[in-house]
Amino acid sequence: MKNQSITYHLEEIENAAKVVLSSLTSKVVRFNGNMGAGKTTLIKTIAKQLGSTDDVSSPTFSIVNEYSLDNDKIFHFDFYRLESIEEAYSIGIEDYFETNHWIFIEWAERVEELLPKDACVIDINILNPTERALKLTLKTNNLTENMQYNS
């Protein structure tokens, strides 16, 4: 198990996104945090780091947004309004997991049992209005590494 601590000010989010991106062990990532913690903002910054020029926004009402990359795609899910697990099945969630594209999920606890076992987890905690703390849980070879980032 590996632990590191970093907090970041919102104006440093690009550096935090670089650290996150270089640490990920899976292309399926769940983002946990309270309403307003910055899940979509971090996803937007990571998408930009990956090379997306699309307008990244929360798919709260559409459930999933697709963003283009040069040789890849990002599927961004927001399950906040999901009423049942059947809704996730009806949009073909399992098919998305079978692709080798990036999958970023907000409010993933609503589809917990459907997530791949190797999905990375990013917990975002609000320290104050301009500062956040990230905790990454990376699963590799049946081992779980926890890394907390503070800057």
Rounded CA gap, 2 and 121, in Å? 15
| pTM, 2 dp | 0.90
Alpha carbon 104 to its chain centroid, in Å, reads 4
For residue 147, the model assigns a pLDDT of: 54
The superfamily in CATH containing domain 7-149 is P-loop containing nucleotide triphosphate hydrolases (3.40.50.300)
- 87-110 pLDDT tens trace: 999 999 999 999 999 999 999 999
For residue 6, the model assigns a pLDDT of: 66
Contacting residues for 51 by C-beta, under 8 A, at least 6 apart: 69, 70
pLDDT in tens, the chain (151 residues): 233 456 899 999 999 999 999 988 899 999 999 999 999 999 999 999 999 999 999 998 899 999 999 999 999 999 999 999 999 999 999 999 999 999 999 999 999 999 999 899 999 999 999 999 999 888 765 445 555 555 4
- The residues with which 131 forms a beta bridge, in sequence order, are 9, 128
Q: What does the domain layout of the chain look like in residue ranges? A: 7-149
For residue 4, the model assigns a pLDDT of: 41
For residue 137, the model assigns a pLDDT of: 87
For residue 144, the model assigns a pLDDT of: 54
> What DSSP assignment string belongs to 81-111?
T---HHHHHHTTHHHHHTSSSEEEEESGGGG
For residue 7, the model assigns a pLDDT of: 85
- 56-68 pLDDT tens trace: 999 988 999 999 9
For residue 1, the model assigns a pLDDT of: 28
Question: Which region, left, alpha or beta, applies to residue 92 given φ > 0 means left and ψ of -120 to 50 means alpha?
Answer: left
Number of residues in the chain: 151
